Amino acid sequence: MTGTTDARPVRSEYHPVGDRSVGELVHEATEQLSRLVRQEVTLAKEELAEKGRRAGRGGELLGAAGAIAHVGLIALAGTATAALSLTLPVWAAALIVTAVLFAVAGLLAATGRAQLRRAAPPAPEETLGSVRADVEEIRERVHHR
């Protein structure tokens, strides 16, 4: 098609409003709104997936904290037994091990709790803000026409 020109005018997505019919404008607005909604739904899915991953990590850490706390309770029972049956150095060592296990459990619990707090609320806040901004932009454009 070199050297030939088409007699039809070139259509651009950004033609002035006066050059298009109401039907074309409505069709274009419908397509743009549909595309915007699809993009916002995609963004909401991504945001909810990220919050779900954070909640999962927090739950895993809290589960690990529970398991280590359980081991700590067993160690504490061993410490009490050692304290009753032996002299100070043996139970003192067992008590130190128990304290370390509880410290690790406390650290895991605090980290897991922080992860769960960062994941809540499960609503896609960024997407909701984006949708609100889109609605406001549409309102402003409608009122200025």
Which pLDDT tens digit goes with each residue over 19-49?
Answer: 778 888 888 888 888 888 888 888 888 888 8
Residue 55 lies in a domain: yes
- Number of independent structural domains in the chain: 1
CA distances from 34 to 38, 92, 93, 102 (A): 6, 70, 68, 55
Kindly state whether residue 14 falls inside one of the protein's structural domains.
no
Phi-psi region of 15 (alpha: psi -120 to 50; beta: other; left: phi over 0): beta
Residue 4 lies in a domain: no
Residue 10 lies in a domain: no
- The residue range of the domain holding 38 is 20-143
pLDDT tens by residue, 73-118: 888 878 767 766 766 677 777 777 778 878 888 999 999 988 888 8
